[in-house]
Structure 1
Amino acid sequence: MKKIALAIVLICIGMGVANAQSSQKAKSLLDEVYNKVKSYNNIYIDFKYELDNKAEGIHQETKGNVTLDGDKYVFNYLGATKIFDGSKIYTIIPDNEEVTIESKNAEDEGTITPSKMLTFYKDGYNYAWKESKTIKGRSIQLIELTPISSSAEVKSLLLGIDTQTKHIYNLVENGANGTSTTITVMNMKTNQTLPKGTFAFDRDKYQKQGYYIID
């Protein structure tokens, strides 16, 4: 009996060491990704967004793009444009001929916003090293992120990282309700020469077009 108990203890210790090594290995790779992303002056991304719920028979796909420069961004998705100039968020909806202007605090700190979509994983998650896959000739390392908060709506996240470029390839979010969403980076450009006023909102332009502006 004592031998069995000792064996169980040794197995548990071994698992603890393995988990710690897995976590540290994952964190080291994520740190490389973070430092690579932060080294760029700006980033442009074309992405594909997929939503799946097998139980409900739901599958949806759409595309979008985002230009990032520090915290500033221009985000085009589902026919709308969202601009953050560093202090205010402008949501432009052409179908409704409407613009909504909000303060920076309007974005929930707990959500993955456009300005945080490549660095959100730095805080609030436990990491685990998973398998690697070859996708279209690229070596993609998977890292599982589990929210530290027990009240998080997200069950887990699976981050795919290109081991050669140290860029994020995709992100799979598994919700507690059985819905999974996948964001895949289709194209990425860095350090582009951006036109002047890329992150500026032209109020006069939209007023002349008859847009209703909610300030």
Structure 2
Amino acid sequence: MKKILLYCLLTGLTISTVFAQKDVDAKKILNQVSAKYRSYNVVKADFTFTYEDKQASTKDSQSGTLISKSKTNKYRVSIYSPDNATTEQEIISDGKTQWTYIKKDKEVEISDVDNSNESLNPAQIFTIYEKGYKYVYNGDEKIDGKTYQVIDLTPEDEKKPFFKIRLSIDKAKKQIYSAVIFDKNGSRYTYIVRSFTPNVKVPESTFTFDKKDHPGVELVDLR
């Protein structure tokens, strides 16, 4: 579960299929979401991540928090224990260096941030459609009295292991509520945004890993 979650966050939900086209209505909605997100300096999003393995009939969930400064490609993702009492994992970037920390292993991997078009980091999670994707608007749906606009994304690269991302966008707020990634092997990865706070005040130290705060942790430099 831990490795799967890190994999999904670091690969940026890459997917694949050949059926969708770039639809005018979908583009209009996505542009509204992107424009609103980019108007903020720093955002904080609390989310729930669920992994479903259809073949093994298993389902696991964890919660986490994303703090993102998209204009400078900085982010911090914290994944919590099942009881939400402690932080189990963190992915941190200052825009140039990325630290991937797993508390149980007492290890942090250090790598360069991948800024290529093949990569998508957590700071870009709300603007994932802008490069290399096709999209189609599938109408609206109501959940608990709220209206969500449903858009399917597919990449132009057909070699990826996923075949679809389904976004549900809060029609009133123009914010992404959920993202469901459909794997070719039948598995599903679901992110639900439980709260979204724009323009939060955080120190710059939020986007770096300080070894002094983590005594006994081994640094593994992969650069």
Over residues 107-136 of structure 1, what are the superposed CA-to-partner deviations in whole Å (9 max), with x where a residue is unaligned? Answer: 875344211211111111211110311112
Counterparts of 1:68-147 in structure 2, within 5 Å, are 68-70=68-70, 71-77=73-79, 79-105=88-114, 109-147=117-155
Question: Of 142, 148, 152, which aligns to 2:160?
Answer: 152
Matches of 2:160 and 2:217, distance apart in 1: 37
Cα distance, 1:84 vs. partner? 0.1
For structure 2, which runs of at least 5 residues remain unmatched after alignment?
A: 1-18, 81-87
Letter in 1 for 2:62: T
TM-score with structure 1 length normalisation?
A: 0.83
Amino acid at match of 1:122: E
How big is the shift at 1:142?
Answer: 0.2
1:49 aligns with 2:58: no
Q: Does the 8 Å CA contact 2:20/2:154 hold for their aligned counterparts?
A: no
Instruction: Decide which structure has greater helix share.
Output: 1
Map Cα deviations across residues 150-174 of structure 1 (whole Å, 9 max, x no partner). Answer: 2121111111011110000101111
Q: Secondary structure at the match of 1:150?
A: coil
Structure 1: stretches of 5+ with no match in the other structure: 1-18
Q: Residues 129 and 142 of structure 1 are in contact (CA less than 8 Å); yes or no, is this contact kept in structure 2?
A: yes
Amino acid at match of 2:178: N
TM-score (norm 2): 0.80
The 8 Å contact of residues 40 and 191 in structure 1, kept in 2 or not, is answered as: yes
**How many residues are matched?**
194
Q: Distance in 2 between matches of 1:124 and 1:23?
A: 14
- 5 Å matches for 1:6-85? 23-70=23-70, 71-77=73-79, 79-85=88-94
Report which structure shows greater RCO (CA 8 Å, sep ≥6).
2
Q: Does the CA-based 8 Å contact 2:76-2:92 persist in structure 1?
A: yes
Aligned residues of 2:21 and 2:135 also touching (Cα < 8 A): no
CA separation of 1:82 and 1:197: change in aligned 2, threshold 3 A: same
Question: For the pair shown, which has the larger CA radius of gyration, 1 or 2?
Answer: 1
Does 197-206 or 180-189 show the bigger shift? 197-206
Query: Tell me, what secondary structure is at the counterpart of 2:40?
Result: coil
Letter in 2 for 1:84: S
What is the alpha-carbon distance in structure 1 between the residues aligned to residue 97 and residue 142 of structure 2?
Answer: 41
Range moving further from structure 2, 178-187 or 195-204: 195-204
Tell me, yes or no, if the aligned pair for 2:66 and 2:76 is still in contact at 8 Å: yes
Q: CA deviation at 1:21?
A: 10
Measured on the aligned residues, the alpha-carbon RMSD in Å equals 2.2
